[in-house]
């Protein structure tokens, strides 16, 4: 069965690059530009993974992660933060809130794909 991923980021170039790459890897890809769009998608879809920025307008990545963790139907969805917030305290907070991985920008697309595939195996 085809794996699915929700990419949540407000930077169009990052979204475009990741969308293209994950589609080449045969993923079904959903896109959200902020946390509120992500929540709308998560109300009707259960992706295998969510690639989540932290700093976004409206609802940020932390709030989006809290929403994901509060929903029983999303309990198996893996969440990976992909963010410019690169301090150790930011990473500790993200992982303590329940993120499965914490990756920082700038990033290697190959590494992001490898991390997601490893989580989903």
User: 4: which strand partners?
Assistant: 28
Residues 27, 20: Cα–Cα separation, whole Å: 10
| Terminal C-alpha separation, the chain | 13
Residues 69, 75: Cα–Cα separation, whole Å: 7
Where does the pLDDT of residue 113 fall: very low under 50, low under 70, confident under 90, or very high at 90 and above? very high
What's the confidence (pLDDT) of residue 41?
97
Give pLDDT tens digits for 60-108: 999 999 999 999 999 999 999 999 999 999 999 999 999 999 999 999 9
Domains in the chain, number? 1
Share of the chain above pLDDT 90, in %: 98
What's the confidence (pLDDT) of residue 1?
80
Residues 74, 67: Cα–Cα separation, whole Å: 9
With a CB cutoff of 8 Å and minimum separation 6, the contacts of 46 are 73, 74, 76, 77
Residue 12: CA atoms inside 13 Å, Cβ hemisphere, count?
Answer: 0
Tell me which residue range forms the domain holding 31: 4-120
pTM recorded for the entire structure: 0.95
């Amino acid at each position: 069965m085809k794996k699915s991923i929700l990419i949540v980021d407000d930077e169009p170039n990052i979204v475009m690059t990741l969308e293209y790459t994950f589609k080449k890897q045969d993923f079904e890809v959903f896109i959200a530009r902020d946390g509120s769009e992500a929540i709308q998608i998560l109300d009707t879809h259960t992706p295998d993974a969510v690639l989540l920025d932290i700093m976004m307008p409206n609802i940020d990545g932390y709030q989006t992660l809290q929403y994901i963790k509060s929903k029983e139907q999303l309990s198996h969805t893996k969440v990976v933060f992909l963010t410019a917030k690169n301090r150790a305290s930011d990473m500790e907070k993200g992982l303590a809130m329940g993120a499965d991985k914490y990756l920082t920008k700038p990033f290697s697309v190959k590494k992001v794909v490898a991390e997601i595939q490893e989580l989903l195996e």
